[in-house]
Chain A
Amino acid sequence: MSSYSADNNLSHAGRRPMVIAAQLYKAATSMYHIDEMFQWLADVIVANFDVQATQVWTLQASRTGQISVQLRRMVYQEKLFPEHIIANNQVATTAGQILQGQSSYGLQTVESLFPSYQASLLERYGLLYCACYVLIDDKLLPPAYNAPATEIPMPLTVAILLFLRQPVSQNELSAINLILEQSIAVAASRRLLFPASTGSGRLPSLTNNSLQQQAQLSLGGLVPQRIEDADLLKSSNPLAGSLVISDKQARRLFVAIDGRKNVEEICTQIGMDLKVAYEALRVLLAQHRIQLYDPGGQLVDGSVLLENLR
């Protein structure tokens, strides 16, 4: 009887990553920013595995070339410990070292990963173990949803830290790893990540000069152009519905885009208020359905301009 029960549990545990992956595919259809996916993953890991806290750390570049470590999302069991126990400078420093090292650590004791003071702090609240996953991809990670306009996308480097009271099995760790790896593929297919930079450097090549020029441009004078997904109907199922523009105003604006008229002309044509149009443009840019060009035909980083209008 107990053997049957154990087999049953094992089989259930084996199916869990597949079930979660299926849920991820479904949930991703209503996501418009990578942070929504990070939040979803952190929630799911804490809810489904014996994990007390999940943190998503990323490297973030600024226009001045500085790179910082950012805590993008955190989910933890609030009754067990206060937030500052796991969200502090010492954990950030360790996360930064993990991100720079770019390799996953698997399950470790907190003593072996954190400085002694931080480790004893974690141990005091029963958090004895930490698992660490690093996800790396050439695709560009957009800045956080509410990030200042000075932040720019950079190649995806994410560290996911899991804080645990007791060690979990290797199967559980593999399952989490599988879910995280699939999430990157789903994020790419949902276009929550920007295409890989074709510039020579590792960071997108934006010079101060070009940024100043972009800032001087009036958004109303920019010409939006539609982008067709290169993979659609070739590698990705066009009937899966991932291309749907749910926002009605964004769809209305998108229909009027002909590749020649600028934003102001389009707004006049369809009788749309400029403020509404900017919001619609933000949606379309986030979904990678359009690109913005200046009157001279040069590609412009429209997301930065739209961010400045907030």
Chain B
Amino acid sequence: MDENFVPNLLSLTLFFVSLFIAIRAFYLYIRSRSRRIFILSLSMGVISLTAVAGFAGDNVTSISLNVDWFNYIGQTVSFIFILLSFFKDSDAYLRNLMRWHIAASALLLILMLLAPVLPPEFPDPAVTKSILSGSRGLICFIIFYYYAIAFMEKETRFSFLMGAAFLLLCFGYSIIIPKYIHPNDALDRGGDLIRIAGLITLLLAVILPDMPYRARRQNEIIMSRREKY
């Protein structure tokens, strides 16, 4: 099997899932003007670009590309803005957050364009990569925590699946940290596969219709009673 198969599969899954969410969210933003939806759209748009950059970094050999800065920081910043959009519902707060998000995303695009000229190696790679890559896992864990609370309060399928997705992403990001100190292919592949599972769960969360878990459970109870009858 091609050694790039799993990383490429991850890049493609990340690209298509995040691009789908970004485009759908942007379309809904145009029609609803909800600032939180804009933040989601921009975050997922940047994450889809990190997938393209990751794919290029893994496969383009003719020029030296250091896309890891953009990958790590781009994903961390995008997840941070999704997390920050949870903190308050006031319009003034979300309007300011949108402005900061646009500015931060513009800087990230510059970082992406600088990939060919950035030095191929990080300073003190083990520490720098562990911190940059691990920060994504930390943010994903905090987002998972928010969804866990939301699920306990409202018991919706959406919050359950989103919580599961971010927990898987957190695991996927966290278990690959040791590879930056002692390279370990098995760990790397395992982390990638867990992240793919997380992304598929994320996709399911946004394509399945809203339904309170309690209502679904009630349906199932009635169905099972009828079958017995």
- Interfacial residues, chain A to chain B (CB-CB below 8 A): 10-11, 13-15, 17-18, 21, 25, 171, 174-175, 178, 181-182, 185, 189, 225-246, 251, 254-255, 259
Asked if B206 and A254 make an inter-chain contact with CB atoms under 8 angstroms apart, the answer reads no
Residues of chain A lying within 8 A (CB to CB) of residue B206? 237-239
Residues of chain B lying within 8 A (CB to CB) of residue A21? 215, 219
The interface residues of chain B, by DSSP majority, are classed as helix
A10 to B226, CA, bound (A): 8
Contacts A226-B91, A243-B28; is A238 near B34 (CB within 8 Å)? yes
- Interfacial residues, chain B to chain A (CB-CB below 8 A): 21, 24-25, 28, 31-37, 40, 82, 85-86, 89-92, 94-95, 146-147, 150-151, 153-154, 156, 158-159, 205-212, 215, 218-219, 222-223, 226-227, 229
Contacts A10-B226, A239-B206; is A232 near B218 (CB within 8 Å)? no
Asked if A245 and B33 make an inter-chain contact with CB atoms under 8 angstroms apart, the answer reads yes
Q: 3 tightest A-B contacts by CB?
A: A14-B226, A243-B32, A235-B154
13 cross-chain CB contacts under 8 A: A15-B223, A25-B209, A171-B229, A175-B222, A228-B34, A231-B154, A233-B36, A234-B146, A235-B153, A236-B156, A238-B40, A240-B210, A259-B92
CB distance from B217 to the nearest CB of A (A): 11
Contacts A243-B32, A255-B33; is A235 near B219 (CB within 8 Å)? no
A229 to B149, CA, bound (A): 17
Residues of chain B lying within 8 A (CB to CB) of residue A230? 89
Residues of chain B lying within 8 A (CB to CB) of residue A234? 86, 146-147, 150, 159
Residues of chain A lying within 8 A (CB to CB) of residue B24? 239
A10 to B222, CA, bound (A): 12
A171 to B150, CA, bound (A): 33
Asked if B156 and A235 make an inter-chain contact with CB atoms under 8 angstroms apart, the answer reads yes
A174 to B89, CA, bound (A): 38
Asked if B94 and A18 make an inter-chain contact with CB atoms under 8 angstroms apart, the answer reads no
